[in-house]
Amino acid sequence: MSSSKYIAYLQTFSKKPLFTSAEAKKKGIPPRMLAYFCKRELIERLDRGMYRVKGAKITIDFEWEDLVLTALTIPRGVICLISALCYYNMTDQIMREFWIAIPHSSKAPQRPNTRIIRMRNISLGQTEIHIGESTLKIFDRERTVVDSFRYLSKEVAIKALQNYLRSTKQTKPDIKKLMAYAKILHVNLEPYILTLTSCPLH
């Protein structure tokens, strides 16, 4: 089969942030052609078995494009801490790095501008979000607040809690859920919540 036929197949991935060699194989593109396309700079290799079409038209806000691309290359990763706080608009911090949590038993992958956090409990509070056509794993707002007290400065963590406790039309604080997460992760949030809300928790 001529390379032009494979190029036509390749165009099916032009609207995705990335594609895998397994997906390419299903479309009829063999591994040798992926190597050939990399050499011709029609695609770029992001990681083992992961590729991106050069000049791909991706429907993702520019603000999140690099985070999406990084998160997708770490299949077991979960967006966390500063990256999650930025997504939920619960911090004034600038996302200079992409913060991704992985299971504690996993080997930390090397990614540019990325901070990998190995965590023992990666299922608690794990949820999914959709950015463009991509589905990503992220910790929910409650888990993100609790983790802020575990891994970030007290100043950043308290600010995140303050923002979390502000009720809006889109989001309302779930103190019961927050305290349940804190208990599981051995974080004492009660003094901070009492100070910020002046309300008893029992």
pLDDT at 125 over 70: yes
Query: With 90 as the cut, is the pLDDT of residue 24 above it?
Result: no
What pTM did the predictor assign?
Answer: 0.77
Examine residue 88 and state whether it is found in any structural domain, yes or no: yes
| Confidence grade of residue 199 (pLDDT, cut at 50, 70, 90) | low
Query: What would the pLDDT profile of 160-176 be if each residue is shown by its tens digit?
Result: 999 999 978 788 999 99
- What integer is the mean pLDDT of 19-28? 86
Summary mean pLDDT of the chain? 88
Give the model's pLDDT for residue 181.
98
Do 177 and 112 share a structural domain? yes
In order of 37, 53, 171, the CA distances from 60 in angstroms are 24, 15, 23
CB 144 within 8 A of CB 157: no
Indicate whether 49 and 96 sit together in one domain.
Answer: no
Listed in sequence order, the residues at least 6 apart from 7 whose beta carbon sits closer than 8 Å to its beta carbon are 37, 42
CA distances (Å), origin 89, targets 25, 69, 103, 154, 164: 40, 20, 25, 18, 9
Last residue of a domain, one of 14, 36, 53: 53
| Same domain for 23 and 91 | no
Residue 13 CA to residue 16 CA, distance in Å, equals 5
Q: 47 with 67, same domain? A: no
pLDDT at 54: 83
Instruction: Judge whether 185 lies within some domain.
Output: yes
Count of the separate structural domains present in the chain: 2
Tell whether 202 is covered by a domain: no
Mean pLDDT of 86-90: 95
Residues 78, 163, single domain; the answer is: yes
Picking from 34, 53, 72, the residue at the C-terminal end of a domain is: 53
Cα–Cα distance for residue pair 63/162, rounded to 1 Å: 24
Contacting residues for 184 by C-beta, under 8 A, at least 6 apart = 121, 124
